[in-house]
Amino acid sequence: MSKPTLVLLAAGMGSRYGGLKQIDPIDDAGHKIIDFSIYDALRAGFGKVVFIIKKEHEADFRECIGDAVAKKTEVEYVYQEQTAIPDWVTIPADRVKPWGTAHAIWCCRDKVKEPFAVINSDDYYGVSAYKTLVDFLAAPVADQEGRMPFCMVGYQLKNTLTENGSVARGCCRMNEQGYLTRIEELTKIEKTADGARYTQDDGASWTDIELDTLVSMNMWGFQPQIFGELESSLDRFFKEEMEKNPLKSECFIPIEVGRMVEAGKASVKVLSSADKWFGVTYKEDKPFVMESVAKLKAEGVYPEKLWE
């Protein structure tokens, strides 16, 4: 069996950072979070790397990230373009936003023919999650109903919080066998002196939440059969959802996977990681990220220079 592929959602990087050349390094060697993610994935057993980007960012992306990775493994580029939609869809005037993560993954359908994982390009997931994903993707087990065997890696809430403000997290709700039943979106969770709490009414009331609650950080494992289902998802989105908010509506992968689970088309095994997740949600988070990376290097988890 071929090695699984790593797909990185990177089409939004230019807009978030004001141009790829302005992506901030997180160590003295000039590495970015995406470098550590790919390094971890390759040593865990992933093969090909697929970057989902905007076409206009390709030259910068190759220079900043892709060319170094291409010296170690096969690299493919997929372009999430606004025009990559069914012929019958009319793009709303003044639409700027992309069509969402489900659309981004669907754009990979001609490049990915093997089991694959999907991650955010600017999140650090830790070493162990990639090995967990490889093991699952190498031997996926369909249930008796023959549903597509997917997986996701859940993180303990306490390992995803920031000291610098509130965060939005999708809390994983599972059955007794550890399969996902739904993802409950909590849009404002904050750390407290002795735990964490969330509000759903803009702070009028707060509810405590357990720190070991598993949350989704958008780290998924899929089979290539998902592309056919995503085509149906996009058809429904353009027919039913886009007109509700023509300029901002998006088709998101957690929602569409949830629909597949509810329809009995897929099962999602929730795998867990005890690693610390981190990202630069707020600019004040960057010093913590840099300190964390320096500590991991000092512990021998990473070499000083990843691609040499």
Backbone φ and ψ for 253, nearest 5 degrees, come out as: -65, -40
Torsion of CA 138, 34, 189, 102, to 10 degrees: -60
What is the chain's alpha carbon radius of gyration, rounded to the nearest angstrom? 19
Tell me what the mean pLDDT of segment 29-39 comes to: 95
Mean pLDDT in residue range 25-45: 95
Q: Which amino acid is at 118?
A: V
The reported pLDDT for the residue numbered 135 is: 94
> Tell me: the pLDDT tens digits for 145-203?
778 999 999 999 999 998 888 999 999 999 999 999 999 989 899 999 999 999 998 88
CA angle, residues 274, 291, 285, in degrees to nearest 5: 80
Percent of the chain exceeding pLDDT 90 equals: 73
Residue 191 CB neighbours (<10 A): 18
Domain ranges of the chain: 5-139+217-263+276-298
Residues in the chain: 308
**Where does the pLDDT of residue 14 fall: very low under 50, low under 70, confident under 90, or very high at 90 and above?**
low
Q: Is residue 226 within 8 Å of 150, Cβ to Cβ?
A: yes
CA contacts within 13 A on the Cβ side of 172: 29
Tokens 């999907």 — which residue? Answer: 118
Question: What are the pLDDT digits (tens) for 91-138?
Answer: 998 988 889 999 999 999 999 999 999 999 989 999 999 999 999 998
Residue 13 has pLDDT above 90, yes or no: no
Cα–Cα distance for residue pair 160/133, rounded to 1 Å = 19
What pLDDT shows up at residue 144? 60
Task: Give the other-Cβ count within 10 Å of 47's Cβ.
Answer: 16
Beta-carbon contacts of 214 under 8 Å, excluding residues fewer than 6 positions away, are 154, 155, 156, 157, 171, 172, 174, 270, 272
More confident residue, 189 or 84: 189
Q: Within 13 Å of residue 227, how many CA atoms lie on the same side as its CB?
A: 14
Percent over 70 (pLDDT), the chain: 95
- 38-56 pLDDT, tens digit each: 999 999 999 999 999 999 8
To the nearest whole number, what is the mean pLDDT of the chain?
A: 91
Q: How confident is the model at residue 1 (pLDDT cuts 50, 70, 90)?
A: low
Report domain 5-139+217-263+276-298's class.
alpha beta
Instruction: Give the residue with greater pLDDT, 285 vs 229.
Output: 229
Predicted confidence at residue 24, as pLDDT, reads 81
Distance CA 215, CA 178 (A): 13
Instruction: Give the Cα separation of 56 and 3 in Å (integer).
Output: 30
